[in-house]
Amino acid sequence: MTAQQAAEQVKTRFGNLISEPTEFRGEWTVWVRESARIADVCRACRQDLGFDYLADISSLDNYGEDPRWTIVYELYSLAQRCYLRLKTRVGEERSALPSVTGVWKTADWHEREIFDMMGVRFDGHPDLRRILMWEGYPYHPLRKDFPLSGKPTDLPEVAFSNAAPLEGGPFVTVAGAKGAGEREPRIRIPED
């Protein structure tokens, strides 16, 4: 079975719940229109289509749009040697998806990271807590409305107590530079 055939089988099985499969550079994607059904679709992909490996779950912040987040599931079939991408959207008013840890145990850390960095909750997750930031940290740093300079904190022993300055920081590039080395973001010392 090819990735295209797998995408078409998912569409056939779930009907209007799934978008028409799309291809880009040899990779096939289907959208799950109702985010509350993502675990059902994932379970069918694993049990019926042989996608036994969850390569990744990632998230995109579509700040200013509703629904706000896109969650992307990268599936792989070891037997058929093909990938399938599932995407779904979840909004701020709900901001929760069913966990797929019951389908693939490896979803545990992926879902925890998305919860920690974006604030998207996963219903039914066995241990949904922060994985990178400390417990009690009130923000989600990968959201687009989180400032690049960071936010001040009252915990100086744990993190910086002031927002980090951007001038000369890691996001500085030279606009219009001729060489790749000059265009690469790096710390730059201002010339006097």
At 19-55, the pLDDT tens digits run 999 999 999 999 999 999 999 999 999 999 999 999 9
Per-residue pLDDT, averaged over 66-73, amounts to 96
DSSP 8-state code for residue 18: B
> Residues with Cβ < 8 Å from 191, sequence gap 6 or more?
none
Q: What's the maximum distance between 2 C-alpha atoms anywhere in the chain?
A: 66
Domains of the chain: 3-142 (3.30.460.80), 147-187 (no CATH)
- Single-letter residue type at 43: R
> Residues with Cβ < 8 Å from 119, sequence gap 6 or more?
95, 140, 143
The model's pTM: 0.80
pLDDT value, residue 29? 97
